[in-house]
């Protein structure tokens, strides 16, 4: 378990917070209130962008895909149903599908050079310790070399902080499968890092 925390800490320095009054804001957005959806957008856009950027590694594509995620969410918000999972689970599912579609059509190689690692950590952490930045780049590069299924689970669990249950819902797998994928993904990541 300690290794999982170390990897998560290397991947992010951002605390996960929920939007105050999110349930009511989501209900208003489902009713078509654009300003409520705007509040959801403002809160979740940086997280969705970070998830997509880790997956595609090119800023321009990540920006375009993030825009498409929120456009799709807005167009389909009336069909959103609260099934006991956070609203963010629904957004990440849309984002994950958007990335899958991107790779089906683009088929481009990822390039670490196009990614600014400082985006993923808080500014204080990014500038205080060069060793931490180099270690972060090493973890990010290793993560990008994992198969997409492993990437998704590791990002959802350790970058975004989702539970096993929430991750299973987002990636359309059973909780047992997510645990297995997580275990194998962490082992592969540790092997790459050693």
Digit-by-digit pLDDT tens for the chain (194 residues) are 445 555 554 444 433 456 678 888 999 999 999 999 999 999 999 999 999 998 887 889 999 999 999 999 999 999 998 887 788 889 999 999 999 888 888 654 444 445 555 545 444 444 455 555 567 677 777 888 888 888 888 888 888 888 898 888 888 899 999 999 999 988 988 888 88
- Residues 91 and 79: their CA atoms lie apart, in Å, by 13
* CATH of range 2-193; options 1.20.200.10, 3.40.50.620, 1.10.1740.10, 3.60.20.10: 1.10.1740.10
For residues 166 and 119, is the Cβ–Cβ distance under 8 A? no
Judge if pTM exceeds 0.85: no
Q: Token pair for residue 55?
A: 């997956």
**Torsion of the alpha carbons at 108, 111, 116 and 119, rounded to the nearest 10:** 50
């Amino acid at each position: 378990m300690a290794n999982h925390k170390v990897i998560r800490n290397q991947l992010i320095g951002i605390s996960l917070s929920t939007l105050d009054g999110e349930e009511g804001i989501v209900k208003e957005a489902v009713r078509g209130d654009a300003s409520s959806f705007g509040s959801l957008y403002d809160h979740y856009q940086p997280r969705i962008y970070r998830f997509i950027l880790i997956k595609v590694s090119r800023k321009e594509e990540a920006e375009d895909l993030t825009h498409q995620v929120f456009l799709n969410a807005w167009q389909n918000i009336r069909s959103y149903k609260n099934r006991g999972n956070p609203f963010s689970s629904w957004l990440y599912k849309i984002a994950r599908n958007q990335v899958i579609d991107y790779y089906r059509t683009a088929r481009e190689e990822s390039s670490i050079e196009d990614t600014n690692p400082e985006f993923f950590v808080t500014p204080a952490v990014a500038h205080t310790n060069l060793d931490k930045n180099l270690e972060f780049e090493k973890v990010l590069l290793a993560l990008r070399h994992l198969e997409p299924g492993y990437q998704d689970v590791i990002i959802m669990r350790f970058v975004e902080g989702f539970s096993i249950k929430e991750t299973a819902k987002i990636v359309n797998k059973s909780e047992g499968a997510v645990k297995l994928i997580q275990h194998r993904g962490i082992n592969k990541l540790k092997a790459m890092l050693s």
